[in-house]
Amino acid sequence: MNAHTDHPSWWGISLAELRDQVISGERSAAQLVRESLKRLNTYNAAHRIVLELNRQAEHEAQQVDEAIAFCHAEGDIAQRAEGALAGIPVVVKGNIAVRGLALSAGNPVFGQFVAEQDAPAVATLRNAGAIVLATVNTSEFAWHGTITASSLGGTTTNAYDESLSASGSSGASAVAVALGITPIAVGTDTCGSVVGPAAHAGLVGWRPTFGTLPTEGIVPLAPAQDTPGIIARSVADIQLVAGTLNLTQAEVSSGETARGVARHLRISYLEWPLQAPGAPSLTGSQRQKIRSAVAEKVRSSASLLMQREGMQEVECTLSAQEAHQLLPGSQYTEIALALEEFVASGACSDDVDSTHELVAHALKTALIDSATIERWLKYARTHPEALAESLMRGAEQRRAWLEYMRANSLDAIIYATSPETASHDWAGTAAAGLSSHGGSPSITVPIGKVNGLPVGLTVLTQPDADVLAMNIAGQLERLISTS
């Protein structure tokens, strides 16, 4: 089975409609969870999705149903409307704390730590009535961005073809949504780790403006870039979750982004992401054929958007080399230090004798090449200031990027999420650093398929303009569906 052939009972229903069905009593939360668990059991062996099931999920769903039944009996419509995600099953990437489950990040050493409380994003979704079904596989310590593979979870496979990569590092989060196990998933994005898996699963992936969603309770990779993100089936579903997370309130109050696509927008289309590196296993002729088809689909979709009234296409002179000079990003030399600080904070456990020894042991057991691990550990020994310096560089790059977009009067930039479709050993991104290094929000929208595999287009806006990014992405989504 794959994402083509089998759908859950709620497929084709928006997140808001599904929530309303639960609140009205037309559908029960417990029913949704049981269906999700059944689908997870069906697909997990082939796709390697789960790290740990939430054994309380069905009980928590029953509690939601009981609370809704009580509100019905009392005639309290206001109470019944409070749960923006009432009864909605969700999966959470395994590097994010879920109360009572292991905070493993796919690693057996970290797998001994049980989270005592939810990460803030998880807590907010749960408070809105969402039911955490499971923690799901991640590239170990979220390191790989083109595959999802860990010592604990194995290798997660693509929802459209089990022989292909699911992308990384939030690959299992995307696969769970694509296979109809849950309507939404929580991942993390350091440099394309939400938008990449979403694009290669034919989904919408949202990386928010850096710093607007807290990272407490998330095992760090590069703290100057890490953020939680959301994967869903539509832009409208993303908007509902964003509203639940209270991310959009400050933006809407500013007035400028609240008008969304109703005002005159200056948008640039970048061509050079189509030339980004891709799968190492492809031959020259294979690559040329796939890339030509992807490029045609990306350009035609971008053209549809650019022709919309109120949008002005402006030339963007930013080259790939200039983008790298402006936004070099984290050099990933601070990883061991970030992990040590995370463990020392008590986020994993208070019962740790030596954070340095524990982190060194965890990294040496990881499914990451030994030369990379040794480089990280050596840097931690010789450059104890590396983490603080990385955070400072990140802040400087975000300021420089905001100044660049403002100086060029750019409201948005659009580009291919990936130059190629998924391959056996690769399913990556292009130009993801513009968002992850620059702090901008970005959303990938599915624009069709090449050889049966999904292709995505990314919309990026100025930092703190998540509402505008969603509005433009929604326009693109509607244009694609009617073209």
Phi, psi of 133 (to 5 degrees): -80, -40
Question: Catalytic residue positions?
Answer: 93, 169, 193
Separation CA 236–CA 186 (nearest Å): 16
**CA atoms in the 13 A half-sphere facing the CB of 194:** 31
Q: Which amino acid is at 337?
A: L
Q: Which residues pair with 443 in a beta bridge?
A: 206, 459
Terminal C-alpha separation, the chain = 29
CA angle centred on 401, ends 395 and 402, rounded to 5°: 90
Which strand (E) or helix (H) includes residue 458? strand 453-461
Rg (CA), the chain: 21
Phi, psi of 416 (to 5 degrees): -65, 130
Separation CA 33–CA 62 (nearest Å): 9
- The strand order across the sheet containing 453-461 reads 50-53, 131-136, 89-93, 184-189, 227-232, 204-207, 442-450, 453-461, 412-416, 265-269, 311-313
Largest CA distance in the chain: 68
* Chain CA centroid to CA 309, Å: 30
Beta strands in 28-171 (DSSP E): 50-53, 89-93, 131-136, 149-150, 154-155
Separation CA 452–CA 442 (nearest Å): 25
In angstroms, the Cα distances linking 246 to 252, 313, 452 are 11, 31, 37
Phi, psi of 270 (to 5 degrees): -95, 130
Bond before 169 cis per omega within 30 degrees: yes
